[in-house]
Structure 1
């Protein structure tokens, strides 16, 4: 008897924690289904989707690097959010075989910021480091929350293009990532009543990747450091932020949040979030 399943695709994929997350929830809810990891190269992406489209047991997939934008023209439909962001991290198969792209990165990223975003602020700013598919989702999510954005990339022209494609207007800024590497003596104004974020939306700092060069003199007092990297969970970026007196949010928070949104789309039940602390302990092993 066949079993329904979903999976995560990417290149590489061995490091993905998504099978552990979805497997944990499937077990807790007693759902007879599977969640797998599948290595899919750029050259194999079209063939992968063509095969899965014909598989009625396949509920869909999560999409990780480097496919979040490349997958778009291969899908039958995008929902409004993924079309706005220009990146897809979740594909859902309908009963007809039609594939719909969506983006749960936006909701997953914003979820742990809700308590910080709830109060009114005199000014809100985020420095977002990175220009990949995850960065696009983060920029779109923060823009919806009325933050002024500084998007930093190794290619500032690409950062500017992302801001323009997302219809961000002139109040947002694109800069060279190297701008943040060296110390600054910039005197920040009074930040009382302000909200400041510094977000690593790049793979820098991941195992196998170069470190992220960010000097915390570029962050105003009271800023929140948020790193979407999950391998390792405790990154140098976060350690340095805490040493400089900043609050921190790690990548597991976003990963679990976006996975929960995808899980419900795949399996038709809400993820049992009351077990988040237990799940985190498993993922940290």
Structure 2
């Protein structure tokens, strides 16, 4: 019996998840498949009922617009998904009961782990965007001791998101605040960790660009863009031109997929092939 997992969403054709998981399946020589499956909002309940009865089905990743809507259809949700308020991975647990988790937070934090293991006097992240992806990012950074500035087109939505997901004193700003240059004199950042995160779809192919002036970034900041199409965004190019270190969206995408892969197939993803995988995803 060939086992399989899927990624579900609407639309789904743009997902890079099948390419990632299929690459790892081939490297490990598993008798398995990973497929895209378009599921509409009205079809969620029927999809899950059918797959639960299929012993070859080992779970699915969940993408927009279902990460929150799917939760009532599950038998259990772990603490990570509950804290984020969204599910991106479903798998059959005991007696084929459907369990939900979220690997987005782990995927986002993975390329930052080396820095987060260090001691800092202060950690601050400017997070741009208040959509679904921002939920995992805000939750993860708050847990890692960051003071957050969450910027969105609707500051009230940003404030509500912080109230729900992040304890402590955090701040909001309109997204437009960061579009124009500033002459703000940053204090000494020695021993600090500063992030500028694009958690929005702005800059994605077919979307408007993200207007961010890099005078708003403290010295030594790291620019992190979760957009994956294109991988080399204008946001990252401008950050690099301004002398900042950058992290691209494939880092989070591959990291969250690796965590999900183990739930589905019971094997660790062969991460020693990441460079080859990145080449495949950018061709």
Band the TM-score falls in, shorter-chain normalisation: over 0.9
Runs of 4+ aligned residues of structure 1 deviating over 6 Å after TM superposition are none
Does the 8 Å CA contact 2:139/2:165 hold for their aligned counterparts?
yes
| Counterpart pick for 1:191 among 189, 192, 197 | 189
State the Cα deviation string for residues 120-177 of structure 1 (Å, max 9, x = none). 11111001111122211111111111110111111111111111112423x1112211
Q: 1:240-251 alignment to 2 at 5 Å?
A: 240-251=238-249
Structure 1's 125 and 167: CA in aligned 2 closer, same or farther, altered over 3 A?
closer
Find the residue that maps to 2:239 and give its secondary structure.
helix
State the Cα deviation string for residues 168-189 of structure 1 (Å, max 9, x = none). 23x1112211211122111111
Does the 8 Å CA contact 1:181/1:213 hold for their aligned counterparts?
yes
Find the residue that maps to 1:43 and give its secondary structure.
helix
Please name the residue that 1:217 is paired with.
215
Post-superposition offset of 1:217: 1.1
State the Cα deviation string for residues 235-267 of structure 1 (Å, max 9, x = none). 111011101110000011111111010000000
Q: Distance in 2 between matches of 1:114 and 1:62?
A: 24
State the Cα deviation string for residues 15-53 of structure 1 (Å, max 9, x = none). 111111100110111110100111122232232222222
Please name the residue that 1:69 is paired with.
68
Structure 1's 209 and 40: CA in aligned 2 closer, same or farther, altered over 3 A?
farther
Does the 8 Å CA contact 1:15/1:231 hold for their aligned counterparts?
no
Please name the residue that 2:280 is paired with.
282
Task: State yes or no: 1:49 paired with 2:29.
Answer: no
Please name the residue that 2:99 is paired with.
100
Task: State yes or no: 1:164 paired with 2:163.
Answer: yes
Please name the residue that 2:25 is paired with.
26
Post-superposition offset of 1:204: 1.2
Of the structure 1 ranges 105-114 and 159-168, higher mean CA displacement relative to structure 2 is found in 159-168
State the Cα deviation string for residues 210-232 of structure 1 (Å, max 9, x = none). 21111111111110000111111
Report the TM-score, using the length of structure 2 for normalisation. Answer: 0.96
Find the residue that maps to 1:44 and give its secondary structure.
helix
Please name the residue that 1:181 is paired with.
179
Report the TM-score, using the length of structure 1 for normalisation. Answer: 0.96
Q: Which runs of no fewer than 5 residues in structure 2 stay unpaired?
A: none
Say what the alpha-carbon RMSD is for the aligned residues. 1.2
Please name the residue that 1:83 is paired with.
82
Please name the residue that 2:15 is paired with.
16
Find the residue that maps to 1:100 and give its secondary structure.
strand
Post-superposition offset of 1:54: 2.2
Please name the residue that 1:135 is paired with.
134
Task: State yes or no: 1:207 paired with 2:205.
Answer: yes
How many residue pairs match? The answer is: 283
Q: Which runs of no fewer than 5 residues in structure 1 stay unpaired?
A: none
